[in-house]
Structure 1
Amino acid sequence: MKKLNGWVFAIIILGGIFYLSSIPGLRVLPILKQLNTILLRFDVYFIRIAELIAEHLPVNMNELNPIRTVSYDFYAYARANPVILEFLLRKIAHVFVFFSLTIALFFLINQYTKKNYTALLLSFVSATAMAALDEFRQSFTDGRVSSLIDVGIDFIGISLATLLIIFSILITKKTEKQKPPA
């Protein structure tokens, strides 16, 4: 059953990548507008949760003035130039999706190899190859372009996932060594 779950997650992520990169001229902002209309229905709940969190934060609100200034300036710029939001959201999505793909591939491959570093290396190489192949495939879709920069951004997500997995492996080994023998 575990092996099936690993395959399901990997296939869902790969299918999502394939589907989204096959949409000609895909734009993020119209999708976000649709999501926003759905989320506005839950606005009361979000406000209440934010108020509960704010009650428990020991922060002097005056300390946030520099952050507020930068964020207001960015919002003003983004309103005048929505293309920057489109660009940032696309690149964040690249990082997130390939981060998730690398972790899913690691769990899938690790079930078959049982060697953490072998699974890590194979998931790293596989995710990097998939990033390059996906960008190449996009060159055949109308309104889309293939970009080595996007492969580099995908590689950031792959690298972050790899570092997280290495950190997890090291922490797990350290705690296993500290356990007293039963």
Structure 2
Amino acid sequence: MQITKYISVAVAVSYAGLIFYLSSLQSPPNPVTPELLIKLHKMLVEMGIEFIAYPFYIFYRHPDKLAHMLLYMGFGFTLNPAIRSTINKHPEALTIVFGTLYGASDEFHQSFVPHRSSTVSDLFADFVGLLISQIVIIGMVKVIKLKNRRKVVQ
């Protein structure tokens, strides 16, 4: 069990290092292509579910926000087990707090990189990514607990 703690912490620190590296680049790669977002937005509008299509339009206009959100969603998935194995109190809340603080320090770091900027909207996208990851984790934990209860009843 002790080795799992070290592995989860190493994975979270490595992921934080990846974020730092990407923030150090003057023009980081953006894995999200606007064409894909345009097609997805158009498909959802044609299906008559514009309310779901709206975020894709925002991400089409600002693809870097989607990249921030996805990157920090991944960070939330790696940071949570590290916090759970070391602190073990309120891991979801602490993941959001520590992850957002890291995002703020990352934005500060970016302010020193040529051709990069530090914005509150990037930090908000980081926060949203962390929040989504923790909502998914909480949901998964509840499903597993429910599944285990059903096994005991049978």
Instruction: Tell me which residue corresponds to 1:58.
Output: none
* 8 Å CA contact 1:13, 1:101 repeated in 2: yes
Q: 1:18 aligns with which of 17, 20, 33?
A: 20
CA shift for structure 1 position 105:
0.9
Q: Does 1:5 align with 2:13?
A: no
Aligned residue type for 2:17: G
Q: Does 1:159 align with 2:131?
A: yes
CA shift for structure 1 position 106:
0.6
Q: Does 1:171 align with 2:149?
A: no
CA deviations 1:20-53 (Å, max 9, x no partner) are: 11122x1536x99xxxxxxxxxxxxxxxxxxxxx
* 8 Å CA contact 1:28, 1:86 repeated in 2: no
Q: What is the CA–CA distance in structure 2 between the aligned matches of 1:86 and 1:9, rounded to whole Å? A: 32
Instruction: Tell me which residue corresponds to 2:118.
Output: 146
Aligned residue type for 2:18: G
Distance 1:7 1:27, change over 3 A: closer
Instruction: Tell me which residue corresponds to 2:94.
Output: 122
CA shift for structure 1 position 113:
3.8
Q: What is the CA–CA distance in structure 1 between the aligned matches of 2:65 and 2:80, rounded to whole Å? A: 23
Structure with bigger gyration radius: 1
Aligned residue type for 1:180: V
Distance 1:129 1:138, change over 3 A: same
Q: What is the CA–CA distance in structure 2 between the aligned matches of 1:113 and 1:174, rounded to whole Å? A: 25
CA shift for structure 1 position 94:
0.8
Aligned residue type for 1:121: A
Q: What is the CA–CA distance in structure 1 between the aligned matches of 2:148 and 2:28, rounded to whole Å? A: 47
Instruction: Tell me which residue corresponds to 1:38.
Output: none
CA deviations 1:92-139 (Å, max 9, x no partner) are: 221111001111111111112445xx1111111111111111111211
Aligned residue type for 2:65: K
Size of the aligned set, in residue pairs, is: 131
Q: What is the CA–CA distance in structure 1 between the aligned matches of 2:153 and 2:141, rounded to whole Å? A: 20
Aligned residue type for 1:97: L
- Scaled by the length of structure 2, what TM-score is found? 0.72
RMSD of aligned Cα (Å): 2.9
Q: 1:103 aligns with which of 77, 89, 107?
A: 77
Aligned residue type for 1:7: V
